[in-house]
Amino acid sequence: MKRYEWMVVAAVAGACSVAIGQEGPAATKSQGHAIVLHAARLFDVEAGKIVTPGEVLVEGERIVAAGTSVEHPAGADVIDLGDMTLMPGLIDAHVHLFLHPGAEDLQTVEESVPQRTILAELAAKADLMAGFTAERDMGTEGAGSADTAVMRAIDAGLIPGPRLRISGNAISILGGHEDAVHYNPAAHVPGNADYANDAEQIVETIREQHKEGSTFVKIYETGTDSEAPGGVNAVPCEEDAALCAQNHLSAQAGDAEFWAFHTPYQYTEAQLKAGVEEAARLGMNVGVHDQGEPGALFAAEAGVASIDHATQLSDATMQLMKEKHIPAVPTFTIFEYFANHAESPAAAAREHAMLDYKIHEFKRQVAVGVPMAVGSDVGPFPHGTQAREFELMVQYGMTPAAVLQADYLNGAQILRWQGQVGELKAGYYADVVAVPGNPLEDITAVERVGFVMKGGVVVKK
């Protein structure tokens, strides 16, 4: 995102071990005996309810049982977490480990990939300590496949961090979103993306990225965004009342000017489909940076795994996302951050107008029943602070239980770890966090994670 642009029974264990072998995080297994976690409450993800008290029995890297009480095997370590709520490890479906505050646009020029990789390790640790045990890294933004090294070091237990899905660079068109378009051509300033200009090049780029270790594909589908009251793209409301109703915040149909948001698409539906099919052939899926129409409809038709940012969705796109169960990932936290950290009052006003428009559209999406997932776009703002996203999604219209279910269930779906993460159930990875109080009464509890276990290993207590 760029500023201004936009065990259990043996049968279950056996079934899971096939998938684990393919993912490779074997080194996170704890070698010890059983651990029983006890707390005042436990969040039942499927039911969307709190049960009291809560207990989880862990053996090795997996959950054996969870509920109001579990068996306490002889010799088990019992960890009593007191007045807390046990929940699955949080999922962030949209992060940038290779971005840090204040440098996101020129990092490719100013910082070496080794330097960025060291910072990415620290970012991964910060996210894990904040309770995020699974993340989708939505593009290294110019650091190429350096994320492969971070993912493998985490999986080998060499450094602390969440389970990761990684994409290497995102894919974009020449001169498109995240290309270095405003510089002296003779300086050959590198862009932040891998270029692909047609379906064949998309397929070739995906193969190259996968060869270097990617586990999903990130495509920039829209940009550069423009938005302004009465700007060059604005259409007077009296000419298009329907468009006015969709795009405008304060004026009414019939007014001479209105605030309009426009974002050109980068790839056609057929080109995106070629990418989705090649990703599927390699056992992966595609997430798109997509701020609006008509790119969002192309992406939904092509069958992407998620539509990220999803600021502007037409009725047809929303319907398709419901039918195909394609989650939107609103990424409110980055929009709020940019609005609150703008360089000038004029820029701040513009960012706030963008955020207001986004909130307005999000409420429509929630009312229609578009599936949601939780992704913060952390990186331009400090890693480890992104649980703010849960709070904002509640503030803008979802219930705490719905936001948590969106995070866990739709997050696991997008990250292709369904049945492995996102619930406290027998056979799942023992990725468990505890938050103070009751998160259904105060969602900000997820911003104060006090206990983190990943794969049966306590990493924060």
Chain positions contacting Zn ion, by CB under 5 A: 1, 138, 377
Give the span between the Cα atoms of 427 and 248, in whole angstroms: 49
Smallest distance, Å, CB 18 to Zn ion? 32
Phi, psi for residue 375 in degrees, rounded to 5: -145, 135
Amino acid at 440: L
Q: In terms of Cα–Cα distance, which of 275, 250, 260 is closest to 312?
A: 260
Smallest distance, Å, CB 417 to Zn ion? 20
Find where tokens 């304060």 sit: 250
Smallest distance, Å, CB 324 to Zn ion? 22
Q: Which is closer to Zn ion, CB of 387 or CB of 430?
A: 387
Counting every residue written for the chain, the total comes to 461
CB atoms within 10 A of CB 360: 15
- Cβ contact 45:407 at 8 Å: no
Q: In terms of Cα–Cα distance, which of 77, 371, 353 is closest to 231?
A: 353
Q: Which is closer to Zn ion, CB of 44 or CB of 389?
A: 389
Q: Which is closer to Zn ion, CB of 138 or CB of 421?
A: 138
Q: Which is closer to Zn ion, CB of 309 or CB of 350?
A: 309
Smallest distance, Å, CB 193 to Zn ion? 12
Q: Which is closer to Zn ion, CB of 1 or CB of 446?
A: 1
DSSP 308: E
Q: Which is closer to Zn ion, CB of 138 or CB of 199?
A: 138
Q: Are strands 54-59 and 306-309 parallel, antiparallel or unpaired?
A: unpaired
Q: Which is closer to Zn ion, CB of 1 or CB of 8?
A: 1
Smallest distance, Å, CB 119 to Zn ion? 16
Q: Which is closer to Zn ion, CB of 92 or CB of 293?
A: 92
Helix axes 113-129, 146-155, angle to 10 degrees: 40
DSSP 398: -
The residue number whose beta carbon is nearest to Zn ion equals 1
Give the span between the Cα atoms of 156 and 110, in whole angstroms: 30
Smallest distance, Å, CB 2 to Zn ion? 9
Task: Compute the Cα dihedral for 219, 328, 63, 160 and give only its sign.
Answer: positive
Q: Are strands 41-44 and 49-51 parallel, antiparallel or unpaired?
A: antiparallel
Smallest distance, Å, CB 137 to Zn ion? 9
Smallest distance, Å, CB 141 to Zn ion? 8
Q: Which is closer to Zn ion, CB of 69 or CB of 385?
A: 385
Residues with Cβ within 8 Å of 71's Cβ and at least 6 positions away in sequence, in order, are 57, 65
Smallest distance, Å, CB 403 to Zn ion? 20
Token digits for 38?
């006890």
Amino acid at 46: E
Q: Which is closer to Zn ion, CB of 92 or CB of 377?
A: 377
Residues with Cβ within 8 Å of 173's Cβ and at least 6 positions away in sequence, in order, are 179, 195, 196, 197, 220, 266, 267
Token digits for 287?
């997430």
Smallest distance, Å, CB 160 to Zn ion? 23
**Helix%, strand%, coil% for the chain, nearest 5:** 35, 20, 45
